[in-house]
Structure 1
């Protein structure tokens, strides 16, 4: 529903609504509709210059010489919009402002953080991570466990292996995306066949067909899966499956390869509640500043070497194996199936481990618990942990049940606390919680009956404020 609202708001040029959907509702700025069109395309097509500039500043993509870029330029309704699209140098194929998971994986590839294998292709070297290559490709998993097993350097001498194409292949394996000049597409297709990456091969062929249409000038081919495509996250979540202690695995369903037969090459062991989780420094350090400090030897007193295998072993306190399992799946796959009743406990740990994305997932879980009795408590939690979207959902729910809330002690106390928190508050100063509720009461008014209902709720709110001595 939010996605449809975003496309509609872009056609109308409603910057305020688009800002709300992107910043409060977490709608993806580069989402596509059934016609393969993006919000930026509609903003360009309908001539909304201010909205175009806002979308570009918030990560909308319009790279020159790509299908999307050419389409936006062709459809732009004014020279000012065309200039904005051409001049916005900050937006490149590697710029995904709103996707922290993508940027984390791209950083692993580009910087080689905690890499454990280097591929030497004529003229260039590529640091990589065995665990990622193995999880993303059965071909690489097989080669790393046979011909390349135990090698820290793999030399690829075949003259048909183009370093540019090999780099693009690694980009695809790490991020699910690929950016390559059209002159290297044939080399990419050859490597995709060799490595049995049939999805990539199909995407390359489909993009080549689009790029070859008359009147289209494409110099860079960009492959990007739909936002909802789960393949990358599901593949890397296999590493979390492998990291689980055997006693906690349960029924993981059918996997491309069994955990016991696939060497994920762990390099750190976390001990939690008597269980050992065999994990990877690259993921934990890259996703959390807390774990980066922990693993970079800042807390030496917690470290020891495991007797078997020589893995670095760290004991984590004040967390149960069940809760750590949710942390584990989020770190590897950027998602975890979180029961709402565990959201509070996982949220506390996510805040301690500096995992803002996991905090947002917890916020979505807590939003499912909203009712008249819990909404004030959830609102307090949202404020405490800085969950703006959840806080907005709470105040929206409060506006809906305001007549019932007005008689509840915890709601009255929340209003008082908000008023007291305003520094040097005067009698007529606004109260943030009250302002938010008023906004939501009025935001849904579209009919006469809705207007009467909104006025009734606002009177209830005003009467409450007067009764507790707050005039605002």
Structure 2
């Protein structure tokens, strides 16, 4: 059924009024902050590193600037495919029936970007907290593995729940469970079970049903359930539930309210996680880690310990540095029993011990990992309940394990580029696909660095930028884990820095590995890595050759300096006879007193083979052919045909 113009205008007016009253959020609010302006500029210029850093810092990627431009629209208009992909994966909105969504599609610079927007079908811009909220809600339904540690009962109905979720979400349970952490059952006040069902569903980040869960067989009325919800929400300290009930049946308000409730719930669990789990992590000597005894009835309701060992420092181990260690207090701390034998030796004969970190965690959150889900569902020892918590060793560093736990508990993954590959392998080992994707995204964005690409050859005298990652490790990780995104990133990374890498022995070894990945290789078989490098090498220089007319000569074979320079000069001669009317001269440059002080463009450019030319485009044309020849020479030296 269609709507006439009057209905549409009324609906639009109501929506604007709801936004003005603060009841629903604007999809693309105006943002004039410097952080957002930096994101917009990076989206226009295609700076993946700055875009990723801005997203990680919490900048709203769906905001708009003073010209009504969103970062997604700017990157789409300017043709930066990788930036568009990053923004879409990070939750950028591109709704088909909105003004901003239509602008993105209409202004897409090329079909590749347009197809990417269509591939997302304007529906993958989903709530990024949905996987987190879905897992928390699923804990009410999944009986295996059994991760509950408290049973709530009302009338003839009972629910198997989790103390840490109740403590994080309800001030009532936080206070009472803290004083009696060993409680396994809890009797609720005289309120209809249907009311408590709605309350518990809300605590577990589920949407409040419009029918309040009542059926024809229900023995209570709607008014009784509403009265029960009002009483229970006040008792448990969750007044926001009653506010959601009062929102009525408006779908927009209900959807906005649920998103706000999920975000609030995530923030509460995150605060509880940092105040309890991270605060109570235990650092011990690796040799004594298995001697730690942590009782099950502890005040943070942990039911398993995850252990991560520090990496062995070979130099310190060989030098045998003697450093005193702090004695551990004897006794009980938060349910931890410290063995008297764990006291330190005297400083005179003590070596610096290797450390391990123990994290007290909950199986309910670990089951977001397929590895732990299978472990706790099986008959392994770790699935059995004992007096003291099981210690499970995870093969990664403590820093990487903390990043994994941050993701499992908060859906946040602030991954430093230095640890990105380690997080990638750990996420693959634990079957956490979304975290694996996030790590690959960090590598393929921040890993690009901030150096100029095509202009790298004309920065003589400048200090070479230190690369943030080892590209050889990245491409081998892409091969091993079958992540095409990392393979493409590595090929592009090498192509834009080929003159720095092509003479390295490690690069030759990498080409050999790529060739050997084809079983029963024939002479006519190609080398995938070299094909990708050639493609991105062509892209690197082609962008600079399109205007002066050198693009066509790139595919014609060898080109000398005179030919390249002649074409470049002829391209510029078309503008010699055009008169330029100067109305307003720019202000004088500060600090410049004479024409000699004005910085000039270099009149000569040195190519990779040592030849000096007077035109930058001619130098790039020669450098392109030189790099291709170097690749061919490398293949001849390795006796490979590709």
**TM-score, normalised on structure 1?**
0.63
Name which of 92, 96, 118 aligns with 1:31: 92
Quick one: which of 31, 55, 62 aligns to 2:120?
55
| Deviation of the 1:115 alpha carbon | 1.9
Following the alignment from structure 1 to structure 2, what is the Cα–Cα distance between the partners of residues 201 and 138?
16
1:418 CA drift (Å): 1.9
The residue aligned with 1:395 is 491
Q: What residue is the counterpart of 2:532 in the other structure?
A: 436
Q: Residue 110 of structure 1 corresponds to which residue in structure 2?
A: 141
Do the aligned partners of 1:179 and 1:223 also contact (CA within 8 Å) in 2? no
Distance 2:209 2:76 in 1: 30
Counterpart of 2:169?
136
Aligned to 1:64: none
Q: RMSD of the TM alignment (CA)? A: 5.1
Q: Distance in 2 between matches of 1:434 and 1:464?
A: 12
State the SS of the aligned residue for 1:238: helix
In the alignment, what sits opposite 1:281?
363
1:459 paired residue number: 625
1:94-243 alignment runs, 5 A limit: 100-111=131-142, 113-120=146-153, 126-145=159-178, 150-159=183-192, 162=195, 165-166=198-199, 168-172=201-205, 178=207, 180-181=209-210, 195-197=236-238, 221=255, 223-225=257-259, 232=266, 235-236=269-270, 238-239=272-273, 241-243=275-277
**How far apart, CA to CA, are the structure 2 residues paired with 1:222 and 1:123?**
34
Unaligned runs of at least 5 residues, structure 1: 62-95, 250-261
Q: Secondary structure at the match of 2:148?
A: coil
- Contact 2:421 2:474 (C-alpha < 8 Å) held by counterparts: no
Which ranges in structure 2 are unaligned for 5 or more consecutive residues?
A: 1-42, 44-50, 52-60, 62-69, 107-113, 214-221, 285-297, 310-355, 449-465, 552-616
Distance 1:315 1:189 in 2: 43
* Structure 2 counterpart SS, 1:277: strand
Given the alignment of the two structures, is residue 331 of structure 1 paired with residue 408 of structure 2, yes or no?
yes
**Cα distance change, pair 271–394 in 1 and its aligned pair in 2 (3 A):** closer
Distance (Å, rounded) in 2 between the aligned partners of 1:397 and 1:316:
36
Question: Tell me, what secondary structure is at the counterpart of 1:111?
Answer: coil
Following superposition, the deviation at residue 464 of structure 1 comes to 3.2
Distance 1:107 1:305, change over 3 A: closer
Confirm or deny: 8 A CA contact 1:330 1:358 kept in the other structure: yes
Larger Rg: 2
TM-score, normalisation: structure 2: 0.49
Distance 1:317 1:164 in 2: 37
Separation in structure 2 between the aligned mates of residue 455 and residue 382 of structure 1, nearest angstrom: 32
Contact 1:395 1:440 in 2 (8 A): yes
- Residue by residue over 1:169-201, the C-alpha shift from the partner in whole angstroms, topping out at 9 and shown as x without a partner, is 1343xxxx6354388999578866664446777
- 2:511/2:530 contact within 8 Å kept: yes
State the 1:429 CA deviation: 4.6
Superposed CA offset, 1:62-85 (max 9, x none):
xxxxxxxxxxxxxxxxxxxxxxxx
Cα distance change, pair 270–407 in 1 and its aligned pair in 2 (3 A): closer
> 2 CA distance for matches of 1:120 and 1:457?
76
Between the aligned partners of 1:433 and 1:358, the Cα distance in structure 2 is 26
Q: Counterparts of 1:74-113 in structure 2 under 5 Å?
A: 100-111=131-142, 113=146
Looking at secondary structure, tell me which structure has more helix per residue. Answer: 1
Q: Give SS of 2:529's match.
A: helix
